[in-house]
Amino acid sequence: MPLFTAVVLVCQLSTPTGACDENTAIDVMSRTVKSELQCVSGWGEAIAGSALGQGLDKGYYVKTLCRRNKNAAQNDVQSNGS
């Protein structure tokens, strides 16, 4: 079961890093992954090969978030507790 959700935000350079979130990003991509390392790996190639990748040199940057899935965390606690 995937334990994390990797979220990639594409924000304008004029948006401070701390303010770059799902509401301020011009594009948001996500996928479920099994580890925190997988949250940050592979996105560069995916974005570079997309139409978004062509616009990143024109005033945009990418920010990656890694969130633990609540259901997976509950399942871990239940399986470790029994």
> Does residue 7 carry a pLDDT above 80?
yes
CB 64 within 8 A of CB 39: yes
The torsion angles phi and psi of 47, rounded to 5 degrees, stand at -75, -40
| Pairwise CA distance, residues 81 & 17, whole Å | 39
CA distance 43 to 26: 16
Check residue 76 and give its pLDDT: 47
Question: Residue 65 pLDDT > 50, yes or no?
Answer: yes
Domain boundary assignment for the chain: 4-81
